[in-house]
């Protein structure tokens, strides 16, 4: 999307299955930061009984428990709408369970590998311990986003394949594997960060917007930037 006279279409996938940790906040902040710049938006809520539309701009997936995660992956694979949208150049932002299921494979509650949607070159399984707590990570410099913060609560361990790149390098927390956090491939980006991630990291929200609308006008610092700085300072103590 390069013509800001048309609405930025934000697609919130399966809020009935993948919205355990308040990740709908990512939808709200993306909409808000677009509209503050005069970019009209349309938010589409897609429940698990509905087909995923193929003509969105930004698709968002949140976190969820084991059984809803499996059901979400099965329905996304069967419908194919998200995969087709990604192939057509849409931006995808996925968190925790959503991050795992857009990959090539992920583990169920017994660590059995299950097929994912296959739009991000990652493979996830279950670790021996649960990662819980604040996480701080330095973004890949190529993305032009400063240090990010969030809260993680997962047993996943994720390997990033050669077609994708780690999103960031962990300075505190576990992330993918004690070293890196998240992954991205083209305009598809996944992370374990809750908080929610985009309200806590406004620069990350703006990255997604730039991918769809191009150059953005700067916004004056507000509560999102203050929240980011406060959480970063707290996590560094």
Active site members? 96, 194
| Distance set, CA 128 to CA 86, 107, 115, 142 (Å) | 32, 12, 21, 32
Cα four-point dihedral sign 168, 170, 176, 179? positive
- Rounded CA separation 21/76 (Å): 20
- Rounded CA separation 21/63 (Å): 6
- Whether residue 88 contacts residue 121, with contact meaning beta carbons closer than 8 Å, is answered with no
């Amino acid at each position: 999307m390069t013509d800001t006279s048309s609405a930025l279409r934000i697609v919130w996938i399966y809020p009935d299955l993948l919205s355990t940790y308040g990740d709908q906040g990512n939808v709200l902040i993306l909409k808000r930061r677009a509209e503050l710049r005069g970019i009209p938006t349309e938010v589409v809520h897609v429940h698990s009984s509905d087909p995923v539309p193929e003509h969105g701009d930004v698709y968002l997936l949140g976190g969820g428990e084991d059984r809803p995660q499996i059901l979400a992956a099965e329905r996304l694979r069967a419908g194919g709408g998200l995969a087709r949208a990604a192939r057509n150049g849409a931006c995808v932002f996925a968190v925790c369970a959503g991050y795992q299921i857009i990959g090539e494979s992920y583990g169920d509650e017994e660590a059995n590998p299950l097929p994912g949607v296959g739009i991000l070159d990652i493979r996830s399984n279950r670790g021996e311990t649960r990662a819980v707590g604040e996480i701080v990570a330095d973004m890949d410099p190529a993305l032009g986003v400063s240090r990010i913060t969030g809260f993680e609560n997962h047993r996943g361990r994720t390997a990033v394949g050669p077609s994708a790149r780690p999103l960031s390098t962990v300075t505190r927390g576990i992330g993918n594997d004690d070293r890196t956090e998240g992954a991205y491939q083209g305009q598809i980006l996944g992370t374990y960060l809750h908080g929610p991630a985009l309200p806590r990291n406004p620069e990350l929200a703006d990255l997604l917007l730039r991918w769809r609308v191009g150059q953005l006008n700067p916004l004056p610092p507000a509560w999102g930037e203050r929240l980011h700085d406060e959480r970063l300072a707290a996590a560094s103590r």
